[in-house]
Every structure is written in C-alpha cells, then in structure tokens.
Amino acid sequence: MKKILAVTGCPTGIAHTYMAEEALKAAAKKAGVEIKVETNGAGGIDNAITDSDLKDAIGVIIAADKDINAERFNGMAVIEVPVKDGIHKAGALVEQLLSGHASIRKGHVSTTSTDINVKESIGRQIYKHLMSGVSNMLPFVVAGGVLIAISFLWGIYSADPTSPQYNEFAALLMKIGGQAFGIMVPVFTAFIASSIAGRPGMVAGFVGGLVANITGAGFLGGIIAGFAAGYLMLYVKKWLDHLPRQFEGLKSIFIMPLIGVFIIGAGMFLLGEPIASINNGMKDWLQSLQQANPILLGIVIGCMCSFDFGGPVNKAAYVTGTMLLGEGNFFFMAGVSAACIVPPFVIAFSTTIFRGKAFSEDERAAGLVNYVLGSTHITEGAIPFAAKDPLRVLPIMMLSSAIAAVLTFLSHIQVPAPHGGFLVLPLVNKPFLWVGCIFVGALVGAILLGLSRMHQNRKLITNV
C-alpha cells in the first residue's frame, strides 16, 4: 500500500491542527492509501515523522500556518497549503499527491492546472510569522492574566501592602502573574523574529521586545521589532557566509547576536516614543468609544471575533483586549470574550432546538461538543459548520457575537482574565448577567441558523 505523510499546525495549536488531521486521515482512507499525520499542537509535536517514514513515503502534505521545519522534506514531493485547506480540501490534496502533480521541494515546480500548491505570497509569509508570535505568546498571556485575575478574589487592592484588603498569597499571585504577563511582548517579538531567521533572530527580537516594553511601544513596537530583527539577521547571516568554517562558533555566538541586539535595540529606543504615541492614541480612542458609543464598539468587536474564528482578524481583537487588560481595562476584554464564546454556542443551541428538522445526526453530535468548546472560550468549534455554508453562517455568527458584545458593554461588565470562558466566572463582576448577554446573542443566532437550514432543506426536497 502506498504511504503518504502529512504535517498539520495552526497558530494556537488547539482546534485547526486536529481538524486538519482528521480530514486528511479520512481522505486517505477513502483513497485507499496509508497516511501518517504529525500534529504541531499547543502541547508540542505528536506522532512525529521519523527518518524511516521519509524513506517509505511518496510525498508530504503540509497544512500549517506555523513553522514546522519543512526543510527536512527537501527533495520530496511536497504540497504546502494553509491549515484551512487541510480541513476543506483534504481529498483534493491527497489526490494531487497520489497523481504525481506535487512539486519537488526546492526543485521543479509543477505548472499543471490541477496543482493546488502555489508559491507562498509575501502576505502569507508575514501572516505565518505574525501568528508564530501570537501562538507562542498566548500561554504567557493566559497563565499570567488568570493568576492576576485570581488575586482579585481577595479584593481589587489585595496585592497592596498598605491596603486593608492586603493578602500575602494574593500578592504572590499578582507578582507571578505580573511577570508572566509582562514578558508577553518580548516573547511575541522573539518568536516573530525566530520564525523568520531562527535563533539569531530570536535573540535580537527578544531584546527589541524588551525595549518596546520600556519605551511603551507595546504590541505595535513588538511587531516592528520582530520583523526588523528577523530580516536583519537573515541579511547578516548571508553577509557572514563567506567566513571560513572555523569561525562558525564565533559567528553564531558572538558576532551575529552582537550586531542584532545593538541595531534592533538602538532602533527601538529611537522609534519607541513615536510608536508609543500611536499606541496611546489608539488605546485612548478605543476607551473613549467604549464610553461614548458602546454599541458601535460592540458591533465592530463582535464582527471581528466571528469573522474568521481564531484567525488573524479574531486575533487582532483578542490582542487589543489583552493589551487593554494589561492597562487595567477589564471592560474591553469582557466584550471580546463574549464575542468569542458565542459562535460555538450558536451551533450547540441550534442543533439542540431544531434537532432532526435541520441537522443530521453527525451535526447534532458535533453540536453537543460545542457546549464544552463554548464554555471554555474555544471559538474554532464553529468552523466545520461555517465551512459548509460560509455565505449564510458567517453573517449569522457576526450578528450573534455583535449582540453579545454590545450587551456586555452596555451592562458595564468586567472580565479580568484573558481566557478561560465560564471557568473564570468567579472573577467576573456580574457573572450571571454576562452569561445572559452571551446566551441572548447565541439564541438569536441559533434561531436564525436553524431557520436558514430548514429553508435550505425544503429547497433541496422541492428540487428533487
């Protein structure tokens, strides 16, 4: 039996990674071919591809939006696509590999019309590097943010030794959480640069992120420092390639870090103040909009969070909420979290309310899983349903999330934790009202989705 290999990986390593794995396995089984899928998830690499696997395989499908060390497949037939194509086009990818229409990595590129694989665009490269930074930053944000939030259980001033609310354990939680939360920009910057240029980029990027923190340049400064460090170190490495082999250690441990750290550090000190002004202006605008027009803000945030279910637009809203959370603004994150929690609940409620009238048995089973996903702030649970009918489902999801976000902002709800869904309800100032806001948005979407599916099913029966 023929054997093919696959690698899947998404920025957060939670949902898309494993959805692509299942889709590719199902497609390979249907095609009658053996497959081994390596997953690059949040917990690390599982089912890693070995040298013996490479010898036996006819080719590799890489469905990933992060760095998965693709160089090991040089000289093999390789198809490289975004992780979403691994979910939605699994059958076509397997067929393309088996038909011999895949290009040889770092070799001849197939020009046949059936070739799905295309050379990565600059935009996709930038997206992959940016998402590498986001995915590696998130564990620090979540762990640090939740520990800080838990410290508030003893009172908002429980970490202040001069306050009557002071609690020693709460102060410890605040210190630990503050350290984890405080390095999120350097980690974010370091992994953007590492995605571009490897370890030399990481060193310069981390220092650039630290300077961005010091100068107040924040995430915007971190993005600039990360990409600058990565591409600078690529150039420096190429420039130093002419050095004799015996200077390799000196080059990698001394010369490259020294050049990178100095140039990026100095550049960020020069650019830090102007970037900080832009950052502060953006934060002030968002905070003023929160007070002056919470409805408009809720609509914008809701639409962003449900536009791509964990993709770059969703992450932009989430990172903004995290940034403001670090500034002590707990209102904004409440709206962002509500908007992210709604989509899986739309699916769960709709498949429960309409059951056999609109959904298949498999869809109802998937709907039950979305109760758990929604409760734990995993937006990606809605992806399989949105992928089947995006033109109808996406507007419904965006409307539902917008309703929940608007109601949350109007109710002045505060959520001091950056993740966790309903697991952080004890930390929310109005927990039951917040759940109510989310459920109102989800129920509106569930009814619209159910009615839409019933209408589709009636049309199909009529056409038959």
Residues near 248 by beta carbon (within 8 Å), at least 6 away in sequence: none
3-state secondary structure of 32: coil
CB count within 10 Å of CB 270 equals 11
The dihedral sign for the CA sequence 372, 373, 374, 376? positive
In sign, the C-alpha dihedral spanning 440, 441, 442, 447 is positive
In angstroms, how far is CA 301 from the centroid of its own chain?
Answer: 16
Contact 302, 401 (CB under 8 A): yes
CA distance 184 to 393: 34
All residues at 6 or more sequence positions from 285 whose CB lies less than 8 Å from its CB, including other chains? none
SS (H, E, C) 393-462: HHHHHHHHHHHHHHHHHHCCCCCCCCCCHHHHHHHCCCHHHHHHHHHHHHHHHHHHHHHHHHHHHHHHHH
Listed in sequence order, the residues at least 6 apart from 277 whose beta carbon sits closer than 8 Å to its beta carbon are none
* Active site positions, annotated: 10
